[in-house]
């Protein structure tokens, strides 16, 4: 058991760390009372942000690599849906990072904290469509490592669980309905076909 735990720690250290760099933009709503993807009211004056895959409630340090300014924002929305852009900030976030007028900036992202459960105003995940894709259970650490490598290289974030003294389970969790088809296609390209899809599911389970 101790060997499995140490191996799991090594695997998570290798695959579960998050760092990302690319283009940030900012967005706003053209109507009052607009909701973000997790059911909160959009507030252009708050330090929140939209990201394509990070868990709702994740706090991210965003650094403008051009001027060195940094802020922390909380993920509560999905986007940006423009190629090569990795995060959408509110107008206030863009102002504090110094790129409001130019519209976009080169940034780096680093996770500060991530909640155990997605923060959402929805009572039932079926209102947004949440899914888990279970890849498989493995007793061979080499096999698990190879699978994790493929998932990571596909641009996905794997979840690793200990399910017995000599077995771990690998999944991709908290997938929004609009991402499910793309996740399955990415997994198929790595050789993972017909994984177990569970959902729509509540993000609280």
Catalogue the long-range contacts made by 96-99 (C-beta closer than 8 Å, 24 or more residues apart).
96/47, 96/69, 96/71, 97/24, 97/62, 97/64, 97/67, 97/69, 97/70, 97/71, 98/64, 98/66, 98/67, 98/69, 99/24, 99/26, 99/64, 99/66
Stretch 186-203: mean pLDDT? 78
Stretch 47-59: mean pLDDT? 91
Chain segment 25-37, per-residue pLDDT in tens: 999 987 778 888 8
Chain segment 160-182, per-residue pLDDT in tens: 888 777 888 899 987 877 788 89
Which residue range(s) make up the domain with 155?
Answer: 123-201
SS3 15: helix
pLDDT band at residue 21, thresholds of 50, 70 and 90?
A: very high
Q: Are residues 178 and 101 in the same domain?
A: no
Q: Which of 80, 113, 146 is the last residue of a domain?
A: 113
pLDDT of residue 65: 97
Q: What single-letter DSSP state applies at residue 56? A: T
pLDDT of residue 12: 53
Q: Is residue 9 included in any domain, yes or no?
A: no
Chain segment 9-18, per-residue pLDDT in tens: 455 555 455 6
Domain count, the chain: 2
Average pLDDT value for the chain: 84
CATH of the domain at 127: 3.30.70.1070
């Amino acid at each position: 058991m101790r060997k499995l735990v140490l191996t799991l720690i090594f695997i998570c250290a290798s695959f579960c760390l998050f760092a990302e760099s690319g283009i940030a933009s900012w967005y706003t709503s053209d109507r009052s009372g607009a909701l973000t993807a997790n059911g909160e009211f959009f507030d252009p004056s708050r330090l929140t942000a939209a990201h394509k895959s990070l868990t709702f409630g994740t706090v991210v340090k965003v650094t403008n690599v051009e001027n060195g300014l940094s802020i922390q924002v909380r993920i509560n929305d999905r986007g940006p849906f423009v190629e090569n852009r990795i995060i959408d900030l509110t107008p206030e976030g863009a102002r504090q990072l110094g790129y409001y007028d130019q519209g976009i900036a080169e940034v780096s992202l680093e996770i500060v904290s991530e909640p155990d459960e997605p923060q959402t105003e929805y009572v039932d995940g079926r209102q947004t469509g949440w899914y888990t894709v279970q890849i498989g259970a493995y007793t061979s650490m080499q096999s698990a490592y190879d699978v994790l490598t493929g998932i990571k290289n596909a641009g996905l974030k794997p979840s690793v669980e200990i399910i017995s003294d000599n077995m771990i389970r690998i999944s991709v969790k908290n997938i929004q309905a609009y991402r499910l088809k793309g996740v399955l296609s990415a997994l198929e390209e790595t050789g993972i076909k017909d994984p177990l899809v569970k959902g729509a599911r509540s993000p609280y389970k």
